[in-house]
Amino acid sequence: MISAVLDHPVAMETVVDNPESIPDYGRALDYISASRLSCWQQCRRKHYFRYIADIPSKPSPAMHLGKVVHATLQQWNLWRWDQIQYTRSDLIRTFLGAWQKEKLDNPVKWKSDLEEVKLRNKAWSLVSTYLDEQVIDEDEDIAGVEVRLEAKLPDLPPVIGIVDLVREGGRIVDFKTAAKSPSEGSIAHVHGTQLAIYALLYRHCTGAREGGLELHHLVKTKEPKVCVSEIDPLGDREIVNVIELLHRYVNAVMAEDYTASPSFMCAGCEHLERCKQWPDSMVKGDTQ
C-alpha cells in the first residue's frame, strides 16, 4: 500500500506495528528517511549514537539559523499556495516569530547577545536575498509545500520523506543553508542519497516521474548569495541502486554493525569522545 499526502504540512507519525517487539537496535527501523540513510553512510557508529542510543543533537547556532530560514520560506510558500496576499513586513514578523519559537524549543548557548543579533541579521539577509533574486516566480503554481511522502516497499520498513516544495511540473525543491557555495561538479554525487530517496518516493506516490530536482543553497557568505542547482530526473538505475542501499542499511542495522569510519570529519563530530571510548560508550540512552 503506497500513499501520498499532497496537502498542507502534517505531523510525521512513527509507523510501528508492534512497539514491544522492537529488538536491541532500538527504533532505528521504525522507518527510513534520507537523513538516517545518509548518516549511516557517513559513519555507522555515528548512526548508532544518533538513532539507536537516541542521543539528541545539541542545538547549535548553525542549526538554529537553518531551521528559522526554512520555517520562513515554508510560510512564504504556503501563502503563495493559498493565494494569500502578504507583505515583506508579514514575512519579517513570521521570521521573528520563528526565531523566538526556536529559542524556546531548542535553546542555544550564545557566547553573547551580540552573537545572537549578528546571526539573526545574517539569517534574515539570507531570506531577503532569496526573495530579491526571485528564484521562483511568486505567481507560479505550486503542487505542494512540506509534502509528506511515504512508500511501503517489500521487505523494508516504511520509507518516508518530507519535501520542502514541489513546483509545477513535478519539480522537487530542497532548501539548504550553507557556509560556502556548493561545488557544481559534485553536488549531485554529494546529495545523491537524498535526491534518489525523494525521486523514489515521488514516483511511488504519484505514479509519475519527477520533472527534475533542485537544490536551493542560501549561502552565508559576507554578501549572502543563492546558488540553484538543477538536476535532471534520475535514471532507473539510480532508483534501483537506492533500493539496494535501503536493503543494505536494514541488514547492517539488524546485524548491529556499528563500524566507525574515521576521517577528517571526526574533528567536528559531536560523538567523537564517545567514539574514542567505544565499546564502553555503547550504552542506550547515554547522554554524556
CATH number at residue 161: 3.90.320.10
Q: Give me the mean pLDDT over the 106-131 stretch.
A: 96
Same domain, 246 and 149: yes
**Residue labelled with grid coordinates 510558500:** 77
Is 76 in contact with 91 (CB distance < 8 Å)? yes
Q: For residue 24, what pLDDT band results from cuts at 50, 70 and 90? A: low
* Residue 6 pLDDT exceeds 50: no
Same domain, 93 and 43: no
Same domain, 39 and 154: yes
Same domain, 100 and 154: no
Same domain, 146 and 220: yes
DSSP E strand boundaries for 82-170 = 142-151, 159-167
The residue among 87, 106, 132 that closes a domain is 132
Q: Give me the mean pLDDT over the 14-26 stretch.
A: 48
Same domain, 222 and 161: yes
| Residue 6 counted as domain residue | no
User: 195-249 pLDDT, tens per residue?
Assistant: 999 999 999 999 999 999 999 999 999 999 999 999 999 999 999 999 999 999 9
* Residue 259 pLDDT exceeds 80: yes
Same domain, 118 and 153: no
Q: Tell me the torsion sign for CA atoms 48, 49, 51, 54.
A: positive
Is 251 in contact with 34 (CB distance < 8 Å)? no
User: 43-57 pLDDT, tens per residue?
Assistant: 999 999 999 999 988
Same domain, 49 and 155: yes
| Residue 93 counted as domain residue | yes
Same domain, 53 and 183: yes
Same domain, 160 and 105: no
The two beta strands, 171-178 and 212-219, are parallel
Same domain, 95 and 115: yes
Contacts of 254 (CB under 8 A, 6+ apart): 25, 29
DSSP state of 265: G
Tally of domains in the chain: 2
- Note if the bond before 9 is cis, omega within 30 degrees: no
Domain containing residue 103: 61-132
Residues of the chain above pLDDT 90, percent: 82
| Residue 233 counted as domain residue | yes
Helix, strand, coil shares, percent, the chain, to 5: 45, 15, 40
Same domain, 246 and 121: no
As a whole number, the mean pLDDT across the chain is: 89
Q: For residue 283, what pLDDT band results from cuts at 50, 70 and 90? A: low
Q: For residue 138, what pLDDT band results from cuts at 50, 70 and 90? A: confident
Q: What is the 3-state secondary structure (H, E, C) of 36-67?
A: HHHHHHHCHHHHHHHHHCCCCCCCCHHHHHHH
Long-range contact pairs involving 235-243 (C-beta distance under 8 Å, separation at least 24) = 238/192, 238/196, 238/199, 239/196, 239/199, 239/200, 239/203, 241/196, 242/193, 242/196, 242/197, 242/200, 243/153, 243/200
Contacts of 39 (CB under 8 A, 6+ apart): 46, 47, 50, 51
CA–CA separation, 102 and 104 (whole Å): 5
